[in-house]
């Protein structure tokens, strides 16, 4: 069975740059799951506990919780759709971060089971796994501009900073799936990573994984409308692109000391 929608993926778009070589290679082979597993073996992919990673059939976990099953067996149930295909590519490109997220999720499930409410740790881990974008920069002022929704400063006044001082790397597989058919309102959850924009994928993976701890909370993530990123859409070269308040939400007021 082929991966549904795989033939519609444009591997030349900037957000797929870290995944493009593997994605093209796997797409060109008839047995896509076997191809994914070949890449996994070549890279020595493993869970946080050291179990070799295998991309398995969709119903491999049975009734067991998905994350707990992966942590216990090293087997990742993988359906023939873009959502799970991009999840597999994320494992191949960012194995430390994926393994760390899986370990956090599995430990939380072991402590509290699978309930109606995940709790802040599992909520944050799920948001990162599905929708994160790593914001690579050593400029705290640009992170603060994003936190305050100061789009004019971030994308217009500091536009040249996106060519050497700040860079973004898509990570979440649901985000990558949405970007197959891009639309203006797509919003990722940015996790700031204090690295120069010259960092390679291995450095990004190691640095991002080091930020994923059991104090993880959704409050550490910053909403970022991804088609506002310079170079990700030709339309955003016009400053009026950022005037759409339904996408680029108004700035967050700066709270004055002593004022509640």
Domain count for the chain, please give it.
2
For the packed helices 120-131 and 95-112, what is the interaxial angle rounded to 10 degrees?
A: 150
Mean pLDDT over residues 158-171, rounded?
A: 96
Q: Is residue 255 part of a domain?
A: no
Looking at the structure, tell me whether residues 13 and 90 fall in a common domain. yes
Strands (E), 2-155: 54-56, 75-77, 132-137
- Summarised one tens digit per residue, pLDDT across range 20-41 is 999 999 998 879 999 999 999 9
108 lies in the same domain as 158: no
Is position 155 within any domain? yes
Is 154 inside a domain boundary? yes
Average pLDDT, the chain: 94
Distance of CA 225 to the CA centre of its chain: 14
Mean pLDDT within 96-100: 98
Confidence of residue 254 (pLDDT cuts 50, 70, 90): low
Residues 62, 137, single domain; the answer is no
Residues 12 and 55 in one domain: yes
Is residue 116 domain-shared with residue 11, that is, in the same domain?
Answer: yes
Mark whether 117 and 143 lie in a shared domain. Answer: no
Boundaries of domain holding 191: 126-243
215-244: per-residue pLDDT in tens? 899 999 999 999 999 999 999 999 999 999
Is 132 found in the same domain as 83? no
């Amino acid at each position: 069975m082929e991966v549904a929608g795989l033939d519609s993926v444009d591997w030349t778009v900037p957000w797929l740059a870290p995944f493009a070589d593997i994605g093209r290679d796997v797409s060109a082979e008839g047995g896509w799951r076997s191809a994914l597993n070949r890449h996994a073996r070549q890279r020595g992919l493993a869970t946080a506990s050291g179990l070799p990673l295998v991309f398995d059939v969709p119903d491999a976990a049975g009734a067991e919780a998905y994350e707990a099953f992966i942590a216990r067996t090293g087997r990742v149930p993988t359906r023939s759709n873009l959502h799970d295909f991009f999840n597999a590519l994320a494992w191949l490109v960012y194995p430390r971060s994926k393994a760390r997220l899986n370990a956090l999720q599995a430990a939380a499930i072991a402590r509290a089971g699978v309930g109606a409410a995940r709790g802040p740790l599992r909520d944050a881990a799920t948001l990162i796994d599905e929708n994160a974008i790593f914001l690579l920069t050593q400029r705290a002022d640009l992170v603060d501009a994003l936190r305050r929704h100061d789009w004019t400063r971030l994308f217009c006044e500091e536009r040249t900073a996106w060519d050497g001082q700040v860079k973004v790397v898509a990570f979440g597989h649901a985000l990558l799936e949405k970007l197959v058919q891009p639309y203006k309102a797509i919003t990722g959850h940015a996790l700031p990573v204090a690295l120069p924009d010259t960092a390679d994928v291995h450095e990004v993976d190691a640095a991002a994984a080091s930020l994923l701890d059991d104090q993880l909370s959704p409050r550490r993530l910053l909403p970022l409308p991804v088609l506002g990123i310079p170079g990700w859409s030709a339309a955003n070269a016009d400053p009026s692109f950022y005037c759409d308040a339904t996408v680029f939400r108004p700035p967050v007021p700066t709270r004055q000391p002593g004022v509640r």
